[in-house]
Amino acid sequence: EFRVEVEAIGRVRHKNLVRLLGYCAEGAGRMLVYEFVDNGNLEQWLHGDVGPVSPLTWEIRMKIILGTAKGLAYLHEGLEPKVVHRDVKSSNILLDKQWNAKVSDFGLAKLLGSEKSYVTTRVMGTFG
């Protein structure tokens, strides 16, 4: 199951999704290798020590929001099977040198076929 889901996510190509470059599955060990994204994650820039003036202007913030939304929309509507992330939070939004958002960490992602509807009452993701 791990290999099937990783291979499906590995085929995903979108400018607002972090790219999976490879993986290793040996025994019980699992490792995912993703592209490097220069500017860290959004949580660092929102809640970290960035100095007296944040580089995140309103224009950059809107760019990040729009990029995140485009990445999630592609997961939900642009793929088959569809992917539901299930753990969207600021630490899972990576930022490149030009402040483009890249959604990352598909560890809790769920693949959904188009013929299925999906409803859950179980809470997923990270609290907080």
Cis peptide before 81 (omega within 30 of 0): yes
Catalytic residue list contains 87: yes
Q: Which two tokens stand for residue 83?
A: 């992917």
Q: Alpha helices of the chain — where are they, by DSSP H?
A: 2-10, 42-47, 58-77
From 38, 49, 87, 105, active-site residue: 87
Among residues 81, 126, 120, 128, which one has the least CA distance to residue 108? 126
Residue type, 105: D
State the catalytic residues. 87
